Amino acid sequence: MDFYEVIRTRRSIRSYKPDPIPDHVLRRILEAARIAPSGSNRQPWKFIIVKDEKIKERLADACGHQSFIAEAPIVIVACGYNIHYNRGGYMGEMSMLVDVSIAFTHLILAARAEGLGTCWIGLFDNEKVKEILKIPNEVNVVAITPLGYPRNEGFSEPGPRKSLDEIISVDHF
């Protein structure tokens, strides 16, 4: 699939078929995240692959009771190690959010290229998710996504977006 088609047609999917994801497909998607760039090549990430039905249900509850999350055959939880690097001079310990978000973006775009749906979940209770998955104190959850084949929704072009003139400037703000 053409890279620009992947970008143009990636959508947040909120309904999934129960069909399993072949291991070789999952590995390609995870490899895309693994090779993502990070500041000073720190790679401050860990991805938890959740397949257990009960754990998925508990995660969905910890994500504002978004039950569709547990529908997917797999839920991926992206975690970041606090790297104590003050990126930009103001981000402090949470500068790992940038690196983990880059890797997570690689993951969701690779999933789309494989015909799989994702939905970047930002609504979650960090402490509850950490408790459910036994995540250590020095690690935080950055994002969560269900991963599976879309049930009813397809991949389509984006809805209205700002024009380029509204989002770019040259040489000055």
Q: Is residue 173 part of a domain?
A: no
Q: What is the CATH number of the domain that holds 118?
A: 3.40.109.10
Q: Is residue 68 part of a domain?
A: yes
Domain that holds residue 66: 3-153
The number of distinct structural domains making up the chain is 1
Q: What is the pLDDT along the chain (173 residues), one digit of tens a residue?
A: 899 999 999 999 999 999 999 999 999 999 999 999 998 899 999 999 999 999 999 999 999 999 999 999 999 999 999 877 777 777 777 789 999 999 999 999 999 999 999 999 999 999 999 999 999 999 999 999 999 999 986 787 778 889 999 999 999 99
- Residue-level length of the chain: 173
- Please give the model's pTM, rounded to 2 decimal places: 0.93
Q: Is residue 168 part of a domain?
A: no
**What's the pLDDT score for residue 105?**
98
Any idea which residue has 């692959």 for tokens?
49
**What's the pLDDT score for residue 112?**
97
